[in-house]
């Protein structure tokens, strides 16, 4: 793991409690208004029997899928978040870093109809992880990624590179989180290099917002 990548994962250890409170109190408006619904619709649209939520955090999406009759398994690198997911009712959850998953060091099941990553691909070296996820999909399976829309967050600097999130505006004690900004073509190249074919690209947007709230990509195994 590179230095910024281990700082990134460490920031989730530091921020786990604040994140649980933020998600469970609905503190992030764009999630409440747009992006939670967008990822649920994208997943439900494929009617998958079994889903892996990569970087599941405290597990809100696992619970939302289970309520809709979909078997959902979660994996995340932070043990506090996984404990919170388990306590909230999801039994199939695993603690594993992306580095361990990329090297297939942890058994998290296989033959998934769909793997989703909701705002959880924040590091630079995503291709080995995505290729490892490709190998866990059943034939015809899909990867659904929702992420920050690069044009909405570029802030005049449209090139791949590390940035910093301070969580300003969300109540709680936060440590800054390094995250890797990726242009649209960089996302599409990464999918291609990991053996995926893009089948849908969406830009979920609130009608009263001038910019999209996220970029949502659906890709199938090639
Ligand atoms: C913004 S949160 C999203 C959580 C969840 N998907 C959601 O929608 O609420 C990013 C998640 O990615 C996980 N994550 C980030 N880097 C990781 C790494 N290197 N290995 C494992 N998990 C990681 C964090 O622990 C965190 O739960």
Asked if the model's pLDDT at residue 106 lies above 80, the reply is yes
Place of tokens 């306590």: 87
Residue 192 has what pLDDT? 98
Neighbours of 69 (CB within 10 A): 9
Q: What is the DSSP letter of 154?
A: -
CA torsion sign, 77 to 80 to 81 to 85? Answer: positive
DSSP characters over 43-85: HHTT--SEEEEET-TT-HHHHHHHHTT-EEEEEES-HHHHHHH
Q: What is the predicted pLDDT for the residue at 99?
A: 96
Mean pLDDT value across the chain: 97
Give the residue whose CA is nearest to atom 19 of ligand 1. Answer: 98
User: Exposure pattern of 173-184 as b/e (b: 16+ CB <10 Å)?
Assistant: ebeebbbbbbee
CA of 209 to the centre of ligand 1 (A): 26
- Which of 76, 125, 170 to mutate for ligand 1's pocket (most ligand atoms within 8 Å of CB)? 76
Residue located nearest, by CA, to atom 14 of ligand 1 = 55
pLDDT score for 37: 98
Tally of domains within the chain: 1
- Closest listed residue to residue 186, CA positions, set 211, 140, 217: 217
pLDDT digits (tens, 9 = 90+) for 153-175: 999 999 999 999 999 999 999 99
Would you state the pLDDT for residue 1? 75
Q: Residue 219: how many CB atoms within 10 A of its CB?
A: 24
Between the CA of 56 and the centroid of ligand 1 the distance, in Å, is: 6
Residue 164 pLDDT: 97
In this prediction, residue 3 carries a pLDDT of: 84
Q: In this predicted model, what pLDDT tens digit does every residue of 122-131 receive, in sequence order?
A: 999 999 999 9
- Give the whole-number percent of the chain exceeding pLDDT 90: 98
Ligand 1 atom nearest the C-alpha of 60 is: 9
Band of pLDDT at residue 5, cut at 50, 70 and 90 = confident
* φ/ψ bin of 19: left (φ > 0), alpha (ψ from -120 to 50), beta (otherwise): alpha
pLDDT tens figures, 22-54 = 999 999 999 999 999 999 999 999 999 999 999
Residue 163: which CATH number? 3.40.50.150
Are the beta carbons of 101 and 107 closer than 8 angstroms? no
56 C-beta closer than 6 A to ligand 1: yes
Residue minimizing CA distance to atom 17 of ligand 1: 9
pLDDT in tens, 59-91: 999 999 999 999 999 999 999 999 999 999 999
Distance 193 CA to ligand 1 centre (A): 22
Ligand 1 lined by 128 (C-beta under 6 Å): no
Residues 6+ apart with CB under 8 A from 46: 113, 114, 142, 218
Task: State which residues form the domain around 48.
Answer: 3-104+112-221
Confirm or reject: Cβ of 137 under 6 Å from ligand 1: no
Tell me, in angstroms, the distance from the centre of ligand 1 to residue 115's CA.
14
Quote the tokens at residue 60: 């809100």
Q: How far is the CA of 4 from the centre of ligand 1 (A)?
A: 15
> Whose alpha carbon is nearest atom 2 of ligand 1?
120
Q: How far is the CA of 43 from the centre of ligand 1 (A)?
A: 18
């Amino acid at each position: 793991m590179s230095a910024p990548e281990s700082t990134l994962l460490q920031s989730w250890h530091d921020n786990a409690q604040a994140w649980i409170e933020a998600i469970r109190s609905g503190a992030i408006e764009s999630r409440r208004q747009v992006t939670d619904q967008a990822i649920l619709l994208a997943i439900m649209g494929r009617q998958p029997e079994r889903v892996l939520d990569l970087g599941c955090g405290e597990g809100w999406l696992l619970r939302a899928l289970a309520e809709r009759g979909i078997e959902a398994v979660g994996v995340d690198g932070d043990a506090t978040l996984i404990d919170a997911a388990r306590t909230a009712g999801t039994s199939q959850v695993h603690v594993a870093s992306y580095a361990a998953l990329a090297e297939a060091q942890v058994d998290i099941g296989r033959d998934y109809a769909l793997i989703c990553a909701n705002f959880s691909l924040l590091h630079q070296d995503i291709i080995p992880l995505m290729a490892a996820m490709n190998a866990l999909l059943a034939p015809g399976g899909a990867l659904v990624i929702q992420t920050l829309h690069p044009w909405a967050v570029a802030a005049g600097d449209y090139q791949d590179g590390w940035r910093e999130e301070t969580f300003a505006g969300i109540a709680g004690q936060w440590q800054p989180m390094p995250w890797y900004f990726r242009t649209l073509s960089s996302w599409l190249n990464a999918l291609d290099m990991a053996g995926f074919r893009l089948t849908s690209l969406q830009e979920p947007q609130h009608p009263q917002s001038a910019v999209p709230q996220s970029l949502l990509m659906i890709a199938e195994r090639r």
